Amino acid sequence: ANISDEQLWNVYLPPFKAAINAGSGSLMTAYMDVNGVPATANQFLLREVLHDQWHFKGFTVSDWESVKSLTVHGFSANDHDAAVRAAKAGVDMEMTSHVYQNQLPSAVANGEVPVSTIDAAVRNILIAKYRLGLFTKADMDPARSRAELVSPAQRAAARTAAQRSAVLLRNEGNALPLSSGGGPIALIGPLADAPADTMGSWSLAGHPADTVTVLSGLRQHFGSGRQILYTRGVEIYREQPSIFDSQFPSPKPVLTTDAARQAEFDHAISLVKQAKVAILVLGEAQTMSGEQASRSSLSLPGRQQALLEAAVATGTPVVLVLMNGRPLDITWAAEHVPAILDIWYPGTEGGNAVADLLTGAANPGGKLPVTWPRSVGQMPIYYGDNLTQDPGARDRRYWDATSAPLYPFGYGLSYSSFTVGELKTSSPFLRRGESLTASVDVQNDSSVAGDEVVQLYIHQRAGSASRPVRELKAFRRVHFEAKQKQTVTLKLNPEELAFWSPETHGSVIEPGDFDLWVGTSSEAPLHSMFTLKP
């Protein structure tokens, strides 16, 4: 919902095509229709585009039972028809169901599917297996993979990944980082000690027993230095079954009466009152995100919002730690909670990473990969929208609210403070076969070492299509020591200005004038211009 069809084509298609042209890996066919034809039996997509135009050299595999689902679509008459049409379209391997196994022998025998089609599919699969070394390496040991999942090196990498992907959204009055001493910490929330939720959805190879929760991470970090007062406060659960329940069953409510629920709520607030600072770990259970987990609301599930407001009302400083798979409605928190840290689903070492971030052992440097809405009524919302006929009407599109996001794409704070200035470009012109560089001076004004992500956006002023107001074309995450100043240079090539033109029905690079901005989010203020020459 945070990206337009054009952005999907222009931003994600080029690297996707590059991977395809490299001739490695596999491609999974989706469930949905494309112009009325399910992707799993779409000869235009799989043969004309994927193989003939893009020269894909890997193998294709159906999504979970998507061959069998061709009949459910109302596309194929039965399993036999589905197998024939998927195989002839170019699906090499069927996932999960057994339509190919049961139907293709007779389809080949009666001439509906040529033997050459089967040979091509088998060849593609065998080539992939050879590339993986399945026929040449004698040291394949499944037990080794299980050990590697929790090896010291893997744990260290997981901890670093969780540290670097977290986004500090708010830090009023330098509420963070927490000091090493200074009284009890109230740790409240249904996700503060939830191993499966900390790992997140689709973590099927992981084990909750190996996972460090936020509670475990803080206890390990502080030891006896600070008392941790923990309770859940409220429960959250998904009422409808989840496809992940077989792996990590959704916990059933323990608090089954109104009196029990209120007693736990009141207990949490009493702990907040006893504490020097309160950390509330709120958000979504892992079954609430991922596959088959859409929501019609962006609110904090259950009574979490009421718990947050009650905690703030005590007067104890509150830190909100969000665990989630999508932006949530935190408009109230953005006005009333001093510090907000989004950790997404941080993985096996998530609790240790969160402890590092909250205490300053690690400095947040992540940036939002989405545009953060104020409410569900703003959806879909994304940074690269078109100018429209009245681009200055941002605050007039809704009569009851601004249409500006709560936090823009690319936004994220740090315990360091940075100044970005003096944008320079290597030339006012860009020609085919050349590149243009944009440089800015970045100064760490603080005494805290940290990372900043410098971002470059462009806008094509005129062409065969109305172009997005801004498009991210380059970025660099750079580490700065305390008080350090560096010149950060970003490069732009003509190929990165290509887009799919609805007028020509193809990818085009059109000469003309371009705006260029550099900064630390999609609202980057430093501006220049260049002209793309024929």
Q: What pLDDT score was predicted for residue 8?
A: 42
Based on the number of CB atoms within 10 Å of its own CB, is 291 exposed (0-12), middle (13-18) or buried (19 or more)?
A: exposed
The DSSP string of 135-153 is: TT-TT--HHHHHHHTTSHH
Question: Quick one: pLDDT band at residue 23, thresholds 50, 70, 90?
Answer: low
Three-state secondary structure string covering 189-252 = CCCCCCHHHHHCCCCCCCCHHHCCCHHHHHHHHHCCCCCEEEECCCCCCCCCCCCCCCCCCCCC
By three-state DSSP, how is residue 26 classified? strand
| Residue predicted with more confidence, 283 or 404 | 283
Q: What is the mean pLDDT of residues 442-471?
A: 95
What is the chain's mean pLDDT, rounded? Answer: 91
Q: What pLDDT score was predicted for residue 41?
A: 96
Residue given tokens 């973590």 in the structure block? 203
Q: What pLDDT score was predicted for residue 450?
A: 97
Is residue 81 part of the annotated active site? The answer reads no
Q: What is the mean pLDDT of residues 431-445?
A: 96
Q: What pLDDT score was predicted for residue 497?
A: 95
pLDDT per position as a tens digit, 185-235: 999 999 999 999 999 988 888 889 999 999 999 999 999 889 999 999 999
- Listed in sequence order, the residues at least 6 apart from 288 whose beta carbon sits closer than 8 Å to its beta carbon are 236, 238, 295, 301, 325
pLDDT per position as a tens digit, 332-391: 999 999 999 999 999 999 999 999 999 999 999 999 999 999 999 988 898 988 877 777
Prediction pTM value: 0.90
Q: What pLDDT score was predicted for residue 394?
A: 67
User: 19-33, 233-247, 499-513 — which is least confidently predicted?
Assistant: 19-33
400: which 2 tokens?
Answer: 């009851």
- CA gap 231, 1 in Å, rounded: 35
Q: What pLDDT score was predicted for residue 2?
A: 43
Residue 9 pLDDT more than 70? no
Q: What pLDDT score was predicted for residue 257?
A: 95
99: which 2 tokens?
Answer: 């339509």
Residue given tokens 């940036």 in the structure block? 367
Q: What pLDDT score was predicted for residue 392?
A: 67
pLDDT per position as a tens digit, 136-174: 876 677 788 778 888 999 999 999 999 999 999 999 999
Pairing of strands 26-29, 59-62: parallel
Residue 12 pLDDT more than 80? no
**Cβ distance 518 to 438 under 8 Å?**
yes
- CA gap 458, 475 in Å, rounded: 12
Question: Quick one: pLDDT band at residue 504, thresholds 50, 70, 90?
Answer: confident
Among the listed residues 5, 52, 63, 139, the single catalytic one is 63
Q: What pLDDT score was predicted for residue 179?
A: 86
Of all residues in the chain, the percent with pLDDT exceeding 70 is 94
Question: Quick one: pLDDT band at residue 291, thresholds 50, 70, 90?
Answer: confident
pLDDT per position as a tens digit, 78-98: 999 999 999 999 999 999 999
